Amino acid sequence: MNAFNLPAWMKHLTNRSVAAPVIIILLLAMMILPLPAIILDMLFSFNIALSILVLLIGLQTKKALDFIAFPTVLLVTTMLRLSLNVASTRVVLTEGHAGPDAAGKVIEAFGHFLIGGNYTVGIVVFVILTIINFTVVTKGAGRIAEVGARFTLDAMPGKQMAIDADLNAGLIGEDEARRRRSEVGQESEFYGAMDGASKYVRGDAVAGIMITIINIVGGLIVGMLQHDMAFADAVKNYTLLAIGDGLVAQIPSLIISIAAGVVVSRVANNEDIGGQLTNQLFSNARVVYITAGIIGGMGAIPGMPHLAFLILAGVLAGMAYFITEQKKIAEAEPVVEKEVENPTETEEASWDDVTPVDIVGLEVGYRLIPLVDKAQGGDLLKRIKGLRKKFAQEVGFLAPTVHIRDNLELKPSSYRITLKGVEIATGESQYGQFLAINPGMVTGSLPGTITSDPAFGLPAVWVDATKRDEAQSMGYTVVDAGTVIATHLNHIISMHAAELLGRQEVQQLLDHVGKESPKLIEDLVPKLLSLSVIQKVLQNLLSEGVHIRDMRSIIETLAEHAPHIQDNNELTALVRVQLGRAIVQQLFPAGNEISVISLDNELERLLVQALHNNNATGAAIEPGIAEALSRQAETLSKQQEQMGMTPVLLVPSALRITLSKFLRRAVPHLRVLSHDELPDSKTIRVASFIGG
C-alpha cells in the first residue's frame, strides 16, 4: 500500500492553499516559455472543457451566491485564454511556414471547420462571433452586474434592519441572524466583484480580434520575408492558423460570457434555470394554444414554408394538450363517499361538551391559511415556536401554547389575537405581499396599499414582491406577511406577560428552580408564603416589564423577608431592589450613564406629604396635580424616546408604587424607578424635571 503514497512535493502541490499560486505561476510561464504543439492541444481542450463546466454550474445555481467563486473563475479563465493566445502566437509565427498543423491539431481543426475553403467567409464569421461576444453578451452581463452591485449596496441597510426585526421578534436565532448578515455582505461583494470581473471578459474579446489581426499580418511578413513563401501560400497557412487560434479561444470566451450573464441576470428562487424556464414558459396551456394557432396561420399564407410552420404548430398544439391533461390529473382528487348518519335521537350533553378557553389564541381569515399550512409552505407555526422559545429565554417563563384556527367570520386577510377567549388585538396581513415599514428615515415613497404596522403603529405600505429590493434600498424595513403576524403576536404576549403567568406556570417555574435548589423552595413554599402570594409578586414584576429570569435572587429575597412581611406590594418593592442591577441593565444596556426624568423638589414634597396623610394609593393625588403630572410625563417621555433613550422616571421609594400605577395607563412606555433600585456603579444624569 505504501507504493501509492504521494511524494512530499506532490502533497504540497495538491494542498488547496498552494494551488492558487501554482496556477498563476503556470499561466505566466505559458506566456514566456515555448510550448510544443501537443501541449497546446491539451490546454486548448482543457480550456473548452472548463468553459462548458462553468456554464453548466451556472445553469444549476439557484441564486448567485451558490457560485460565489465565479468572479475569480472569470479572471482565471480569462488569463488562461490570453496565456494560450500568447503561446499559440509564438508557435504560429515560428512554425506556421511548415503547414496548417504546425500549432497543433486543435487549431487546425477549428480553422478548417470555420473557413471551409473560403477565407473571406471564415474571417467574417469569426469577426461576427467576436462582436456578439463583445457588444451583446459581455456588455449586457457587465451592465447587469453594475446595476445589481448598486442596488444591492443601497438595499443593505433595509435588509439588515429586516434581519434585526426578525431577531427581535424571536423568529430567528443569533446563529441564523449572523448567517443572514454574512449572506447580505457576501451578496454585495459578489456583485461588486462581478462588475469588475466583467471588464476582463470585455477586454479579452477586444484582445481576441487584435491578436488575430496581428497573427495574420505578422504571419504574412514572417512567411514571405523570412521563409520565402509565396503570397498565396502564406495567406493560406497563416490565415487558417490565425482564425483557428482565435476561434479556439473565442468559443470558450463566449461560453464563459453566457455563464456570467446567466448567473447575474437570474432572480433567485428555489429552482434552477431549467426549472424556471420550463415552469414559466410552458405552464399556461392557453398561451401555447394561441401560439400554435398563430404559427399555423402563418404556415397557411401563400409563399410561406408550409411544412415547417405547420409541423411546428402541430408540435405546440400537442404540447398544450399534454399540459392541460397533466393539470387535470394533478387537480383531480379522489372523492370519498361518506355515509350520512341520521341518528334517531340526540345524545345527552356531557362534560365533553365543555371546552376549555384557549389562553392565547390566533384566528386567521381564509386567505391567511397558507401561512399556517405546512403543506402549502407556511412557516408561521415554526416562527411561533421560535417566538415562545425566545420569550422563555428573555422573560424567564414558558408562555402558554398559541392555538391557531381559521375563522370564516373574519375578513379574508384579517387575523385576531385572543387572550383567555377575549379579543385583545386585530390586524390585516396581505398574503403574498410584503409590508414596507417606515422607520422614520426613508428616502422615497412606494406605490401600494398605505397602512400602519399592527404591532407598533409605524407608517407602512403593502407592496408586491417585485418592489422588495427597491423598498429596502430606500431604507424601509421590509417583512413578509407571516413576520407581520408573528411580530404582532410577540408584542402582545410581551405586553400581557403578567396575565399569562398563572398558578400552573408558577408551580412549574418553582419545580424547575427546585431541581437545582430544592432546599430553597422547601423553606419558602408553603412554610413562609403561599403559591398565590408568589404568583402576585411575579405578576407585579412582569406588569412593569421586569424579567423574572433570576428566580434564585427572587426566591432568596422572599425567603429573607417573608417571616415578617406578607404584603405582596411590599415584597415586590424589596425584590425590585435586589434586581436593581438587572432592571437598569435591561433599560440601559450600554454605558455607565443613565438619563432619567425626575420630580421637582416642591412637587415631590407635596406628593410624599399627601400619600403620608392619606396612607393610600394614587387616588390621594389632587386632580389638578394629577392631570399636570400625567401631561408633563407624557411630553417628557416622548422627548426621551426621540433622543433614542428609554424614558425613565426616578422617584423616592415611597412614591414609586403609587406613581407607577398612576402613570401606567397614561404613559405606558414610561418606567418608574426608585433611588434604591439604582446600582452605585451607574452615573445618573437628570435630563428634565416634572413640575419645574
Q: Phi then psi for 151, rounded to 5 degrees?
A: -70, -35
CA-wise closest residue to 473 among 151, 146, 183: 151
Instruction: Give the model's confidence band at 20: pLDDT under 50 very low, under 70 low, under 90 confident, else very high.
Output: low
Q: Contact, 417 vs 362, CB < 8 A?
A: yes
Instruction: Express each pLDDT in 446-485 by its tens digit.
Output: 999 999 999 888 899 999 988 998 899 898 999 999 999 9
What b/e readout covers 454-481, taking b as 16+ CB neighbours within 10 angstroms? bbeeeebbbbeeebbbbbbbbbbbbbbb
Instruction: Give the model's confidence band at 113: pLDDT under 50 very low, under 70 low, under 90 confident, else very high.
Output: low
Does the pTM exceed 0.85?
no
Q: Is the pLDDT of residue 418 over 90?
A: yes
Burial of 586 (0-12, 13-18, 19+ CB in 10 A): middle
Q: Is the pLDDT of residue 366 over 50?
A: yes
> pLDDT value at position 262?
75
Instruction: Give the model's confidence band at 96: pLDDT under 50 very low, under 70 low, under 90 confident, else very high.
Output: low
> pLDDT value at position 64?
67
Where do the H-state alpha helices sit in 643-691? 653-666
Give me the residue label for grid cell 397614561.
Answer: 666
DSSP annotation of 17: H
* Residue with more model confidence, 42 or 185: 42
